[in-house]
A and B are shown apart, each in its own frame.
Chain A
């Protein structure tokens, strides 16, 4: 008997960047679990979240007094964004689109990681229409 093997599609819209709230970390953890379950995930970032894929982010040094407890380097969320995009490269199960107006406003349009696609609200609309689940993670000040 044939079974329905079509993967479920989840679109996640997020407006929050690193250092504002935990939301980007939560989204990455959730995305990993969804991908592990065979789902396809579309990430649509807007507002500050478009800086998650700024390729110029770097590890930075911890103060010397904290080396024993925190190590010498402090990592950044973008490293994990890059990692998850590369991990999903050949499955095609993850798409990552950044809002064009938002990247231009923040001067990061020429600084996006290779896996991020600069798109529009039209892309978001198409994602939303083609998804089984839609999650919008707002930002709070």
Chain B
């Protein structure tokens, strides 16, 4: 089993194919891999509570995918309320994940 880190920097609502990242995270988890989806830059927009994309994030978090969103990306975009299942994180935590918490990193 591998530990996957998927970093999503795109606005999930702008790029139709960005659903691929969510589906990939979901499928990897179903296959037994430890999977983290990390939202950063415009990827953080999807974490806004009440959005259509937020519902998808909540759904994959219930499947066991760890969903994190960077604090500065949220702050810059005025996102104050996060979707259920999405936890706030930091650049320090992302660096730790890269060095010690993941062995495969995919950056969109």
Interface residues of A (CB under 8 A from B): 8, 10, 21-23, 26, 29-30, 33-34, 36-37, 39, 133-138, 140
Contacts and interface: CB of A to CB of B under 8 A. Distances in A.
Contact of B105 (A29, A134, A138): A134
A140 B15 contact: yes
B20 to A, nearest CB: 13
Contacts, number: 46
Given A135-B105, A135-B107, A138-B108, A37 B10 contact: no
Given A34-B95, A135-B98, A136-B107, 5 more contacts: A30-B91, A36-B95, A37-B96, A133-B105, A135-B7
Contacts of A135: 7, 98, 105, 107
A37 B91 CA distance: 12
Contact of B99 (A8, A23, A134): A8
Interface residues of B, number: 18
B41 A26 contact: yes
A90 B38 CA distance: 33
Contacts of B7: 135
A137 to B, nearest CB: 5
B15 A10 contact: no
Contacts of A30: 91, 94-95, 98
14 contacts: A8-B99, A21-B9, A23-B9, A23-B41, A26-B9, A26-B40, A30-B94, A30-B98, A33-B92, A37-B95, A133-B105, A135-B98, A138-B108, A140-B10
Contacts of B98: 10, 30, 34, 133, 135
